[in-house]
Amino acid sequence: MPTITVIVNGASRNIDAWDPDMPLLYALRNELGLHAAKFGCGLGQCGACTVLIDGAPVRSCTLRIGDAGGRRIVTAEGLGTPDKPHPVQAAFIAEQAAQCGYCTNGMVMSSVALLQRVSKPSREEAQKALAGNLCRCGSHDRVLRAVERASGVRRA
Protein backbone atom coordinates (compact mmCIF):
# COMPACT_ATOMS: atom_id res chain seq x y z
CA MET A 1 0.00 0.00 0.00
CA PRO A 2 1.61 3.30 -1.02
CA THR A 3 1.95 6.05 1.54
CA ILE A 4 1.27 9.58 0.32
CA THR A 5 2.53 12.54 2.32
CA VAL A 6 0.54 15.76 2.24
CA ILE A 7 0.82 18.94 4.29
CA VAL A 8 -2.63 19.52 5.77
CA ASN A 9 -3.29 22.64 7.82
CA GLY A 10 0.45 23.09 8.29
CA ALA A 11 1.23 19.54 9.46
CA SER A 12 2.82 16.79 7.43
CA ARG A 13 0.43 13.83 7.30
CA ASN A 14 0.97 10.35 5.87
CA ILE A 15 -2.00 8.68 4.23
CA ASP A 16 -2.03 4.98 3.46
CA ALA A 17 -3.53 5.22 0.01
CA TRP A 18 -5.03 1.81 -0.63
CA ASP A 19 -6.20 3.32 -3.92
CA PRO A 20 -4.25 6.29 -5.36
CA ASP A 21 -7.38 7.14 -7.39
CA MET A 22 -9.34 7.72 -4.17
CA PRO A 23 -10.66 11.30 -4.04
CA LEU A 24 -8.79 13.62 -1.70
CA LEU A 25 -12.15 14.35 -0.03
CA TYR A 26 -12.39 10.75 1.17
CA ALA A 27 -8.85 10.83 2.56
CA LEU A 28 -9.54 14.09 4.41
CA ARG A 29 -12.79 12.88 5.91
CA ASN A 30 -12.16 9.16 6.44
CA GLU A 31 -8.40 8.96 7.03
CA LEU A 32 -7.69 12.30 8.73
CA GLY A 33 -11.03 13.00 10.43
CA LEU A 34 -11.46 16.44 8.84
CA HIS A 35 -15.16 16.85 8.14
CA ALA A 36 -15.61 20.49 7.06
CA ALA A 37 -15.37 19.64 3.36
CA LYS A 38 -18.64 17.98 2.37
CA PHE A 39 -19.60 15.51 -0.32
CA GLY A 40 -22.16 17.28 -2.46
CA CYS A 41 -22.25 16.18 -6.07
CA GLY A 42 -19.05 14.15 -6.49
CA LEU A 43 -18.48 15.89 -9.82
CA GLY A 44 -16.75 19.11 -8.73
CA GLN A 45 -19.76 21.21 -9.65
CA CYS A 46 -21.30 22.30 -6.34
CA GLY A 47 -18.23 23.41 -4.37
CA ALA A 48 -19.18 21.87 -1.00
CA CYS A 49 -15.88 19.96 -0.95
CA THR A 50 -13.62 22.96 -1.68
CA VAL A 51 -10.21 23.09 -0.01
CA LEU A 52 -7.21 25.28 -0.72
CA ILE A 53 -4.29 23.56 -2.40
CA ASP A 54 -1.17 25.66 -2.65
CA GLY A 55 -3.48 28.66 -2.08
CA ALA A 56 -5.98 27.90 -4.85
CA PRO A 57 -9.54 26.64 -4.35
CA VAL A 58 -9.82 23.03 -5.53
CA ARG A 59 -12.71 20.57 -5.53
CA SER A 60 -11.43 17.76 -3.33
CA CYS A 61 -14.02 15.30 -4.66
CA THR A 62 -12.36 15.23 -8.07
CA LEU A 63 -8.66 15.43 -7.11
CA ARG A 64 -7.07 12.02 -6.70
CA ILE A 65 -5.10 11.50 -3.49
CA GLY A 66 -2.28 10.26 -5.73
CA ASP A 67 -2.08 13.75 -7.26
CA ALA A 68 -2.07 15.53 -3.88
CA GLY A 69 1.27 14.23 -2.62
CA GLY A 70 3.59 16.96 -1.36
CA ARG A 71 0.97 19.68 -1.82
CA ARG A 72 -0.08 22.18 0.85
CA ILE A 73 -3.74 21.63 1.69
CA VAL A 74 -5.82 23.91 3.89
CA THR A 75 -9.26 22.89 5.08
CA ALA A 76 -11.73 25.02 6.99
CA GLU A 77 -10.45 23.40 10.19
CA GLY A 78 -7.07 24.99 9.44
CA LEU A 79 -8.39 28.55 9.15
CA GLY A 80 -9.40 29.41 12.67
CA THR A 81 -10.90 28.09 15.89
CA PRO A 82 -14.28 28.56 17.53
CA ASP A 83 -12.63 31.01 19.96
CA LYS A 84 -10.61 32.80 17.28
CA PRO A 85 -12.20 32.35 13.86
CA HIS A 86 -10.49 33.40 10.64
CA PRO A 87 -11.70 36.88 9.51
CA VAL A 88 -13.78 35.27 6.73
CA GLN A 89 -15.35 32.83 9.19
CA ALA A 90 -16.08 35.71 11.58
CA ALA A 91 -17.65 37.71 8.74
CA PHE A 92 -19.86 34.76 7.75
CA ILE A 93 -21.03 34.52 11.37
CA ALA A 94 -21.65 38.28 11.65
CA GLU A 95 -23.61 38.39 8.38
CA GLN A 96 -25.50 35.16 9.17
CA ALA A 97 -24.33 33.91 5.79
CA ALA A 98 -25.35 30.30 6.33
CA GLN A 99 -28.73 28.70 6.59
CA CYS A 100 -28.44 24.93 6.37
CA GLY A 101 -24.64 25.24 6.32
CA TYR A 102 -23.94 22.55 3.75
CA CYS A 103 -22.39 24.92 1.20
CA THR A 104 -20.68 27.09 3.81
CA ASN A 105 -17.34 25.26 3.67
CA GLY A 106 -16.98 25.88 -0.04
CA MET A 107 -18.15 29.47 0.20
CA VAL A 108 -15.67 30.22 3.00
CA MET A 109 -12.76 28.51 1.26
CA SER A 110 -13.46 30.23 -2.07
CA SER A 111 -13.77 33.57 -0.25
CA VAL A 112 -10.45 33.06 1.54
CA ALA A 113 -8.76 32.26 -1.78
CA LEU A 114 -10.27 35.37 -3.36
CA LEU A 115 -9.15 37.64 -0.52
CA GLN A 116 -5.65 36.21 -0.68
CA ARG A 117 -5.50 37.26 -4.36
CA VAL A 118 -7.48 40.52 -4.17
CA SER A 119 -7.60 42.29 -0.81
CA LYS A 120 -10.55 44.55 -1.68
CA PRO A 121 -12.54 42.78 -4.40
CA SER A 122 -15.45 44.42 -6.17
CA ARG A 123 -18.84 42.81 -5.81
CA GLU A 124 -18.47 41.50 -9.37
CA GLU A 125 -15.10 39.89 -8.51
CA ALA A 126 -16.67 38.26 -5.45
CA GLN A 127 -19.62 37.00 -7.50
CA LYS A 128 -17.27 35.54 -10.09
CA ALA A 129 -15.09 33.87 -7.44
CA LEU A 130 -18.16 32.30 -5.82
CA ALA A 131 -20.04 31.43 -9.02
CA GLY A 132 -19.04 27.76 -8.77
CA ASN A 133 -20.40 27.39 -5.24
CA LEU A 134 -24.03 26.37 -5.15
CA CYS A 135 -26.33 27.36 -2.30
CA ARG A 136 -29.83 25.97 -2.42
CA CYS A 137 -30.97 28.08 0.55
CA GLY A 138 -30.44 31.39 -1.24
CA SER A 139 -27.97 33.04 1.11
CA HIS A 140 -25.81 34.46 -1.70
CA ASP A 141 -26.47 38.11 -0.79
CA ARG A 142 -25.38 37.50 2.80
CA VAL A 143 -22.30 35.62 1.55
CA LEU A 144 -21.34 38.60 -0.61
CA ARG A 145 -21.82 40.91 2.38
CA ALA A 146 -19.57 38.59 4.41
CA VAL A 147 -16.84 38.84 1.75
CA GLU A 148 -17.18 42.63 1.83
CA ARG A 149 -17.04 42.65 5.64
CA ALA A 150 -13.94 40.43 5.67
CA SER A 151 -12.23 42.71 3.14
CA GLY A 152 -13.10 45.84 5.10
CA VAL A 153 -15.26 47.16 2.26
CA ARG A 154 -18.86 48.06 3.07
CA ARG A 155 -21.22 48.93 0.26
CA ALA A 156 -24.76 50.21 0.44
Q: Which SS3 state, helix, strand or coil, does residue 116 take?
A: helix
Say which CATH architecture domain 87-151 belongs to: Orthogonal Bundle (1.10)
C-beta neighbour count of 72 within 10 angstroms: 14
Chain region(s) in the chain for CATH 1.10.150.120: 87-151
> Residues of CATH 3.10.20.30 domain(s) within the chain?
3-78
pLDDT of residue 90: 96
pLDDT digits (tens, 9 = 90+) for 77-134: 999 999 999 999 999 999 999 888 889 999 999 999 999 999 999 999 999 999 999 9
CATH number of 3-78: 3.10.20.30
Tell me what the pLDDT averaged over the chain comes to.
93
Residue 99 is predicted with a pLDDT of 85
Neighbouring CB atoms inside 10 A of 98's CB total 20
Q: Is a pLDDT exceeding 70 seen at residue 155?
A: no
Going by C-alpha positions, the residue among 86, 78, 88, 94 that lies closest to residue 147 is 88
- Predicted TM-score (pTM) of the model is 0.93
Residue length of the chain: 156
